[in-house]
Amino acid sequence: MAIVDRALEGRVALVTGGSRGIGRAICEALGRRGATVVVNYAAREDAARETAALVEAAGGKAVTSKFDVSKSDQVTEAIKQLGKDQGGLDILINNAGVAINGLVMRFKDEQWAQTLDINLAGAFYCTRAASMLLLKAKERGRVVNLTSVVGESGNGGQAAYAASKAGMIGLTKALAQELSGRGVTVNAVSPGFIETDMTAEHLPEAARAALLTKIPLGRIGAATEVADCVSFLCGPEAGYITGQVLRVNGGMLM
């Protein structure tokens, strides 16, 4: 059930990879609660604009911001500009990610580097660039990092992806300790298999059927189900939750 109060009115949220999939659903969920949402994207400007329109239709405000989270200089510049334009930043959602799959014996250096640079270093660059703004937000400050079930369980053919998502959990816990002094909370949300472009690309029909047998709830999840948990962690009701990993996986890892 989506949270529909206006508790995030007046708060500014940056959602990396907000143009599509889970990121888009998070933007909408935060907009529904009244937030001003900065919708980051890497390439798909059309999709980012669609997300911004959905945020406004849901009752929030939205702007788009193009930068590659794996490029430290772009991140620093964009977040500095965002701070000036919006007058601050209260919520950072490190959601941008890629899944580059393949067996270790054939995996290339560039594929390893790209996965780690976007999925893990990207979250580090964004949080570092945002940290002064978040500390100024004090108890309103929130960071939510998107990890994955495979960051805890591992998965054959996803060594780089799993390593990046396991790293995200360590990053979350370290940041939670560093930022807690001013009341900023840092948590991770760990989805199982969710219906988005990412799973459409990497999950053929036969693999999908086999996967369903491993999910106690017997279905793939919806992006909105992840977004509602992120929205909860961003609200005042979650002010005493930090350093945690909230699993949204239909029971596939307990």
131 vs 148 by CB, closer to ligand NAP:
148
Place of tokens 């036969």: 206
| Residue of 41, 125, 161, 240 marked active site | 161
135 vs 232 by CB, closer to ligand NAP:
232
16 vs 187 by CB, closer to ligand NAP:
16
CA gap 254, 251 in Å, rounded: 6
Q: Which residues contact 239 (CB under 8 A, 6 or more apart)?
A: 139, 183, 185
7 vs 220 by CB, closer to ligand NAP:
220
Smallest distance, Å, CB 34 to ligand NAP?
23
Known catalytic residue at 41: no
Burial letters for 41-71: b for 16+ Cβ neighbours within 10 Å, e otherwise? bbeeeebbebbbebbeebebbbebbebbbbb
Smallest distance, Å, CB 15 to ligand NAP?
9
Q: Per 3-state DSSP, what percentage of the chain is helix, strand, and coil (rounded to 5)?
A: 55, 15, 30
Residues within the interface to ligand NAP (CB under 6 A): 16-17, 19-23, 40-44, 47, 68-70, 95-98, 118, 146, 148, 191, 193-194, 196-199
Place of tokens 């999840």: 221
Indicate the residue whose CB is closest to ligand NAP: 21
Place of tokens 């937030």: 35
For residues 16 and 23, is the Cβ–Cβ distance under 8 A?
yes
141 vs 191 by CB, closer to ligand NAP:
191
C-alpha pair distances (Å), 148 with each of 96, 116, 129, 141 = 12, 14, 24, 23
Smallest distance, Å, CB 146 to ligand NAP?
4
In residues, how long is the chain?
254
C-alpha pair distances (Å), 96 with each of 84, 100, 150 = 23, 13, 16
Smallest distance, Å, CB 138 to ligand NAP?
27
98 vs 171 by CB, closer to ligand NAP:
98
Smallest distance, Å, CB 234 to ligand NAP?
16
Residue 61's DSSP bridge partners are 36
Please state whether beta strands 61-66 and 12-15 pair in parallel, antiparallel, or not at all (unpaired): unpaired
For residues 245 and 188, is the Cβ–Cβ distance under 8 A?
yes
Residues annotated catalytic, as ranges: 161
